[in-house]
Structure formats: structure tokens, C-alpha cells
A and B are shown apart, each in its own frame.
Chain A
Amino acid sequence: MPTTSWTPAAGHAIPRRAALALGLSAGAWGVRPGRAAAQATPKPPAKPTGQVIVGLSQEPTVFNPLMPHIEVDQGVHWNLFNPLWGVDDKGNFTPQLAAEVPTVQNGGISKDGLTWKIKLRPDVKWHDGAPFTADDVKFTLELINNPHFRAYSRNGHELVSDIQVTSPTEIGWRMKKAYAPYPSILSWTFIVPQHILAKANDPNTAPFNNAPVGTGPFRWAERMAGDHITLVANEHFFGTGPYLERLVFRYIPDLTVLFTQFQTGAIDYTGIQGITADHYNQAIKIPGRKVTAGPAAFVESITMNLGRPVFQDPAVRQALYAAMDKDSIIKAIYYGLPTPTESFLPRQSWAFNPDLPKQVYDPAKAKQILDQAGWKPGAGGIREKNGVRLAFSNSTTAGNHVREQAQELLQQTWRDIGADMQIKNMPAAVIWGDYYNLSQYDSVMVGQDEMTGPDPDVTIYYSSKAIPAKGGAGLNTMQYVNPKVDELLTQGAETLDQSKRAAIYRELQTVIRGDLPMLTIFQYARIEGVKDKLIGYRPSVYVSSNCWNIGQWYWAT
């Protein structure tokens, strides 16, 4: 409590995925080795048996996957619906409703990226028995673009036109322009049934939204508002699994109580927001549990509003970065679980640049930078230059205790170099409204996943055309302007070849790291726990919730 903070708690990033697989990472830096790692994995049951209770600290309330939703809702969507293709924990696309993933190589996408042809699986049925056809895909894409429908995001979908259904298993369309992130966007776009939603008077308020029908491994059973949601196994699921008879999502608003329920075994898996760093050491000692600090795509940073005079001097940004005691924050406050990072991309992304200059905590150097740039200590030891005081506020979601500790530590270390930071936290509904979107803040401490699904395209966050305070359409609330970055972003989105794109994005990271519009602290790790007899849990940075593959979970007998 107050869990009205919607950004996930901090966590730990696995330095090496190989180590995760082999269970070789030691103690606090990796998977806690359990019996499961040492023995051969038991086989899944022949029929779906047993139930899993997932504990969530936010309540899923949106069950139409195309409407505005948050991560916990997606956790449920992954089990009720399917996209055309999904993405596994290594970043590879896995065909689901599509028979194969269209690429330029197999001709599914034309060389210029404008013509798409997709073959669909013929053997898929909706939960109510109706057959899945290409009409459902067409309906889904058109619904998203329907001006009367409150779609979550039209990013990418608005480029789709001329959808042709040539057979119940074949569909094609034209893109208005080549857009490399679109396959990633589609991997997060769930297909909804035309035969139900087309009949509704108003898809925004259709009964479907509270009794969803999908194609996924689980079917909707019931919901007790404010308490839990129950799904049951879909016996006719087209893929492997499900191996569980019942899947229950339980809403437990208080993180401490969530942990306690995990401790006593009342829940089988701690989902979002997982186990806080403070409870990690306690958690790994609970018998019969496996606690993982798996990587997440979120990067924690101090994001600065470059419209403020004090942040316009690059020397200030560099000095603040040099005076950031990342080590203490990560090792002490977060118990060494997250990984320090210089990039806005998670380490696991194929576009990640591992060669960015590493930050070193050097307060003496910070003072030197400021002295040389003309920031002289003034009243109260706070530096000034040309009438501007090195004073600013830092805001984050109120109630996130661990973050507050990091803020307080930063406050002290920055005060030592002559910077005055005031903490101004506010409830989530306030801070992430206009205060953030319209750049009304000085600086925020925020955890963000800036990828577009599994795709490294970050145009909406760094393009100069994406500044809402200046009328832009994206979320570049930092008001960051760099023409080189704009150029790289456009190239990255238009180039279809992945290795070429990787080079472009690596350069992008270098440029942004040089400018320091935000001070990256660490990449999150999601600390989550499962009962050790529960098999199948796999954290992934490419999805927003680790409930993505519950269709593959089962109990060891």
C-alpha cells in the first residue's frame, strides 16, 4: 500500500542468460538453485490438472485486449487470447494464429515492406466453438482503426490499408509506408472474434468486454470484482497445453500482504508487482519456494525536463551523473538485484549497445565539472550561474518506499556537490497525467520500457516531433531535441534488415548517452516467486507480464 503506483518495483537483471539456464549464478545475483535445476524436469500431465493462484497487486479490469489497459490486464490477455505470432523469452517470434511468421525471406512481406500476406492456422476454434478465420483478423485491425472504438493504441495499425481476405486462412494488406516495428506490434495485438463483437451495438460497452471469448489456452469462467478472476482450461486449444485445470488471478492490493500470502502458500505465484527488494532476502529462505530475479525491460532513470534553464547546461547533467552513487543505490537499497546500465534498452535486446561509457561515481570530478562550467557555490552552499540556482525538484510515484530511499540518497550526495534537490512525490494519477505529459516537472524518477513491444524503436520518446508540450504526438516529455537522433530514428524504423537496424540503434544509444537527457540508473529485475513444484515459469523481457506462458505451466507430481 499505496499500490496506486503503476510502475513496477525494482528488481534484478540476470547478467548472463546462460547462467540462468544452467543455474550457475551465485546467491543474490541469479536464480536461487532449487531441486528443479538439478534434476530432470518432470513431464507435464496428460490432462489439465490442478490450479494455480496468481497474486497481483493491481486488479485486472479490462478484458477486451484492444481497449486501453495496463500490464496486469495483459497478463490475463496472454491466457485468453492469441496474437498472430507471439514472442518467446529469447526474442524470437513464435507463430500462433498465423501458420508462419511473414518475413521478407519467405515472401510474407514484400521487399519494400509494403505488401503483406499471411497464412493462418486452419484448426483454431474460439472458446464458444466457432471457427477462427481470416475475417476475425480483418475485423480486429479494422476495429482498432474505427474512430468510434476506444482503441488502446493505433501506432502502426493506422498504416494498414486494403485488407483482403482471400480465403478463411489467408489474409493480406498494404502498409502505407514501411514500418519495421510492425511485426513486433502485431506480436502484442490479440485477435478478437468478429462473430461476437460485430453484433454489438457499441463495441466499447459490449457484454463481451466482461465475458471475453478468445482462442487462448484458458477460457473465461468468472470474475468477482475486487477479488479474483477465474479461468478454466480450454480443452480445444490448438497449441501445446494447457496443463492446468484452473487459473485464478487474485487481487491483493498491499505488497506486504502479497508477500505474506506467498509465504504462507495462499498464492502460488507472485505476479506484478512481485516481491519488493526489501523482502528478497527473506523470500529466498522460504522453504518450498523458488524466487527468481528475472530481467525486465524497464530501465530506471532520472529523467530531466530540458526546458528548465538549470538542465540546459550539459555540464550540470554530466556533473549530476558523476555524483550519482549507483553502487550504493543498487547494492544497498535494492540489495544488488538490478544491473547498472547506461542504455535505455534492456541488455537482452538485440539492439543493445554494450560499449557505452560506464558511469563512475566521482564527486570530486563532478565538482570540477561544475567549477569549470562557471557554477559557483552561492547561498547555503548551492551553486549558481547567471542567476540560476542549481536547484530542482524530483518527483516519483508516492508510496514507492524503495524509490524514496534512492531519492533521499541522491539528495544527500547531490547536496554535497552543491545541487539542491527537493523531493516532491505525488500519487500516480497526478504525476503521470499532465504533470508528466506536458513537461510540467523539473525531474522525475521513472522506470520505463521504451521499446515498442519487443522492438527497439523509441521514436515516441526521443523524436523532436514527439514533444507533447510543443504539440507533438509522442511522449518526449524531456523536450529532447537532437537532429542526429531524429535522423537515426527515422532510418531505424524504415530499415527492414535487422543487422543494419542493430547498427543504427547502437549509434543512437551512443549519441543519447553522450547528451545525457536522462541519467540511467539500472535495468529492472522482476523479483517473483513460485512454489518450487510449479514448473514452466520463464521470465521474459519481451512481454509486459510474466503470466505470458501460463498455458505451459504445470505441477510436478
Chain B
Amino acid sequence: MPHRQSLSTLGQMLRRREIGSEELVHHFADRIDKQQDLNAFITVDTDYALQQARAADQLLAGGNPPPLAGLPIAHKDIFCTQGMLTTCGSKMLANFLSPYDATVVRRLKDAGAVTLGKTNMDEFAMGSSNETSHFGPVHNPWNRDRVPGGSSGGSAAAVAARLVSAATGTDTGGSIRQPASFCGLTGLKPTYGRVSRYGMVAYASSLDQGGPITQTAEDAALLLQTMAGFDARDSTSLDAPVPDYAASLKQKIEGLRIGLVSEFFDPSLDPDINAHVREALGELEKLGAKLIDVSLPNSAAGIPCYYVIAPAEASSNLSRFDGVRYGHRSESYTDLQALYENTRAEGFGAEVKRRILIGTYALSAGYYEAYYLKAQQIRRRIADDFSQALTKCDVLVGPTTPTTAFLLGEKTTDPVSMYLDDIFTITVNLAGLPALSLPVGFDPSGLPIGMQVIGNYLDEGTLLAIGHHFQEVTDWHLHAPGEVA
């Protein structure tokens, strides 16, 4: 069945002409249609997908097709796409048709990938459960009463349910890794600056990073190869060479030093999560890796620090939504002030408003030093902790999340309880390091558990090698939810 094949395997089948892209689009479009209850997609455009597929089939027949020719993917609805709406899960952009493609979209398109649609997400990427979307919550395919994680919940749900073979996501505080963990998938947040943010609607500019959500590390390497690289249109893009990630997968991990972060293995950690992560580490040891203990002493400060910096940056980034040039515009206003105030009151949901307000407060006169500057100093401490630890080991590991997928509605009454779910992922964004979440098992109720591997700057290759070798000796990544026949 095509939907049980990894992206890489499908690619081989397409190139050997064992299957056509048009056929794949019909197959996946049908699956998407039958699982609308997951609410993983905001926009699905089968006609447009078929058009792309036919073009891909021509390239495949031609004999020298681009690397992703004909492969069915989806984009998180935060990436600007010319042919389809870009809503960011918000009423503010519910009607927004971007006049340009994001660099990530353009590169994947040029590589021949076929986009089936735009996936649901927490509004403007603010959330950890995909419950803040204007278009309704996404359901976890492993258990529909539970959240898929967020903010890239739609992408994760779509890949987990095999409605597409892979999808793009973005990660500001954990929004690729946490949903990947909750949905039994592989999710990569690249080094800050590795993947262009041009056309990726900005939430927190010093933290945001786009990346792949896939079934395997091999697939993540395949997508990253195309997504990564310098982009003159992104002023924070790193002008650093992109390695051959497929070759990186074969890197030996014998002798690799893996640092177990003591703060991530606190005695209060859920015992099932602890057991599965330890078991996974045992597999890596069998492959020759060495486990050592390290500490990131300022870990707990990550959450308060992030919830100053991210909202502050968001308050600036979202000030562009004013009803003047694009997006929602209120119909009730008598003057310019009212136009702005009503447009923004109507267009934004509650969580987005909370973060803009907190961010504005933290940056306002009299509070800037106490909040924003303080947070930036703590950010330096956190980044230094990582640098210190990474002199003693090559990568750091821990669980991706403190819990498995929680129930829909369980954390929506208290905003802060949701924030605490990011405890293991958030410091990675503050430091700008790359990190990979891998599926390492299931809890007693069948919910996926994820392990996070954090690397040094621009060392995605080592992370992907660890993931690949791990997936060659285990089969967690091959599991799919019950109905995925």
C-alpha cells in the first residue's frame, strides 16, 4: 500500500515507474477525504495536486527527474503558497492568497514535490496542542480524543494517519518535535538559520525555524537536503555549505558521546517515558555510542525566558495585521484607531491576544530591562550551558515531552499549564541548536513516546545518522494508528 511506504521508498518506486504520481495523488486525496474528522487540513486542492503530479510524471518519464519528483507532501499553513490560501490557522488570514511562494515551498516545488494541501495549525504557531486554530482543533490519529500536539499538529496528524508521506512544519518552542513525539513520527528542527524563513509567516523571529515531519530519519534527510541552504531573501539565513545528508545517514556512531541531561531525567519523569527512552539509549549503546552524564543547570529558566522573548517578538511581528494591506478588515469602524482595534480584536484568537499583550508589556517603557533584557541575559546563560555540555559530548538526549498526548480540552482553561509541556524542547530554540525527535515506543494506553536528540550548531548530519541507525535496529517508526490499513 503506497501510504505505508516511506517517502524515500516511494521516490524509488516512482523513479522505477512502478507507480505514477497521478495515481499517488488520487490515492492520498481519497484517504484525506475519508479522514476529514481528524481536521488535519485547512485547504486541500486535489485538482491543483493532479496538475503538479502530471508535470512530475512527465519529468519522471523523461529520465532525469529532480530529487523529489512526484512525492506527495503537505505544507503547514504558515508557509506562503501562491496557489493556495495561507491562513496561519487564523481568522485574520482566512482569505489570504499570498502573491509569492515561501522559499521552502519554492525549493520543494522545484525539486518536484507535489503539494496536496495546507495543514491545520495553532493560530500563528502559538500553541502546543493545535487547539487554538480558528478552523477547529486537530485530533490525534492514535486516539481521536487527544491532541496531536502543536503548533504543527495538522502536519503531524496528516503524516501519522498517512494522508501524505511527509509534511513541513515550523518550530519556535517545540512545534515540530512535540507533535512528532505525540504522533509517533520523526521531526527535525534544524539549526537556526539553516532553513530560510522567507515566506514563513513570522511568530518569533529569533526562534522560528522550518523543518520536516516524516516517518523516518532517512525521509527527514531527503527533505532537509532540499529545504536547507543560504537564501539572500532571509537576513538571518546562514551562509554555510549544505552537507550531503544522505551520506551523513551512514556516519558511524561507534564512539559517539551521548550526553544524558540530568535535568531531563528528573525522578518525577513519567516512568513509561523514562523506561522507553532508556531502552532506546540502550540500543544506541549496542551500536557503539557512549553514554555520559551532563547537566544543563539553567534548563528550568527556559520557560519563563521564552514566554518573554517569544511574545515580545510576536507583538512586533503581528503588528503588521492591521486590515490595511491584506487579510481581515473589520466592517465596523469610524476612524483609523477603531479600524486597527476592531480588525485585530476580531481577527485574533485569545491565545494570540494574550501573547501580544504580554509581549507589549515586556517591551514597554519601564519594563524593558526587567523583562526583555533579563530574558536575553538568561538566554545567554542557557546557550552557554549547551556549549559547555557539548564540549564533553557530541549530542544531548532526553525525552521530547514530559507526557504523552493529553486530552482535547485538558489544558485549555489555564494557559500556563500548556506552556509547561515545552520544558524539554524550548531551551533548544533559545540556543538555536538543531534537534531531532524520534519515536521510541508507546505508553500502556498505546500513545507514542518520543526521544529528543540535540546536536551542535549545523550538526544535523549526526542527528540524522543516530536516527537512521536507530531505525535500522528498531521498528517504532513503522507503526501507524489502527485504521491505517
Q: A and B from one assembly? A: no
